[in-house]
Structure 1
């Protein structure tokens, strides 16, 4: 059961109760944990990609400065 409390435009409070059916599967919860591990690995690879991009950005900035000096 979920209870939602809110107020209408006149400031009168309203309460709604909704019945929610939840099915539990032990196998799916184990799979969720495995997916969390996969996501952690993906996050680490993303961090590595970002550091590579930062290096290339700084290289680009250095190249731009050299071009300005030549002018």
Structure 2
């Protein structure tokens, strides 16, 4: 999954009031094997929920299945 696309997806889910688990499940369904890891998803969800606007320097962990 492309980095900027991930960020928009997270911002969108947070704006809809989705929790971290719901957000990860939606991303898994949409992006299949190209989804970031569950732990990375939790960190990003928390950051966006706390008002962080960008995650430019965050490393992306892609889940390998």
TM-score greater than 0.5 by the shorter chain? no
Larger radius of gyration: 1
Smaller-chain TM-score bracket: under 0.3
- Which one has more relative contact order, counting CA pairs under 8 Å at least 6 apart? 2
TM-score (norm 2): 0.24
